[in-house]
Amino acid sequence: MKISTSRTSVAAAACAALALTLAGCGSGGEKDDGAASAAEPELGPLDEYFEQMYGDYDEEQGNADMIRVEELTAECMADLGFQYTPVDYSSKSSGMALSADAEDIPWDTLEFAEQYGYGATTNPGGEEQPLPEEEGQEFVDPNQEYVETMSETEQQAYWEALYGVQNFDETDPEAEYEYNWEDAGCQGSASNEVYGDMGMGGGDDEFAALQEDMNAMWEAAMVDPRITELNAEWATCMADAGYAGLAEPADAQNLIYDKTNAIYEDAYADMDPNGEWTEEDYAAIEAGIQDDLAAITDEEIETAVADYTCRDEVDLTKAQQDINIEYQQDFVDQHKDELDAWLASTQADSGAKG
């Protein structure tokens, strides 16, 4: 099943992804004795707009927003005749023990590939560690006990009030589900009130046309004839390295991600979603998954090294960055007034929340 949000949020997400993608692509731009450069990528003029819109994340404000969503959800549920205790997710976060070595290596580079492949089975971020005050504590939803006192019919009404009616087509896994906050129960309305356009869907369509034009620009950049030609050169290089039948770098990554996805799917294939599973059951499944992932780590690294070696040989990453910046500049030149208005609107919304 493919899940999409409303038109506005889809475009906003695509724009954010554009900025992130360029940042990733730029990491391996210049060559230095056959190794990709660790220099910071150059931001394009459109990236700079997104940097101003969304670049600064205030953790304190983020936590306050999450709490406010929960409070509004509780008010909404009460209006519908249900009890809901706000969940403080900010206090349930986990810390990350980042690998010092991984922090010093840009992600999309040959150097990274040599040590971590694509990061699919190698966990370059390190092991996730619980915060000290949470050691030995298991998160329990404060609403769990209340829900367990209900009949099956009452529980269904409760979940529909909280999340809305989920109209998934279980017979067609490729069917697209379009998210609309108005159909997403109390959580949807609360999220929309707090986050607006930055929430999961909703918001006005004032800049929808601009965002659609932006998506079209991004798609055009991806199929620019210069990129197509370089992809063909990359494919020839990969075939010489023993990886025939690939058309672009995404195909090389998918060789690994298809296998990792299959590992997870197979591990949980026989799991009855309505059955009773203990923590030990889950732990055993996860242990098996980790063993299966480790078995393909060497293959992942070999594939990624060949991939990034070929990218460097044809200078694909640098070309992608330059071409994308070219497209961005043309887009900004044509839509500067609209982009300025969108930026002003976003900053006004942030100021109102702050």
Going by C-beta distance under 8 Å and a sequence separation of 6 or more, which residues neighbour residue 281? none
What is the separation of C-alpha 177 from the centre of its chain, rounded to a whole number of angstroms? 18
Range of lowest pLDDT (90-94, 306-310, 324-328): 90-94
Whole-Å CA distances, 22 to 40, 94, 101, 156, 304 = 11, 29, 23, 44, 19
How is the chain split among helix, strand and coil, in percent rounded to 5?
A: 65, 5, 30
Q: Which residues pair with 31 in a beta bridge?
A: 36
pTM above 0.75, yes or no: no
The per-type count for the chain, helices as H runs and strands as E runs, is: 14, 6
What is the number of other CB atoms lying within 10 angstroms of the CB of residue 344? Answer: 10
Backbone phi, psi, residue 54, to 5°: -130, 5
For residue 218, pLDDT beyond 90 = yes
Most confident listed range (164-173, 174-183, 259-268): 259-268
Give the length of the chain. 354
| Helices 7-26 & 316-353 angle (0-180, nearest 10) | 130
Q: What is the DSSP string of 267-307?
A: HHTT--TTS---HHHHHHHHHHHHHHHHTTHHHHHHHHHHH
Q: Which two tokens stand for residue 233?
A: 């050169």
User: What single DSSP character describes residue 57?
Assistant: -
- Angle, in degrees to the nearest 10, between helices 297-314 and 225-240: 130
List pLDDT tens digits, range 243-292: 999 999 999 999 999 999 999 999 988 777 666 777 888 889 999 999 99
Residue boundaries of the structural domains of the chain: 15-56+107-117+206-353
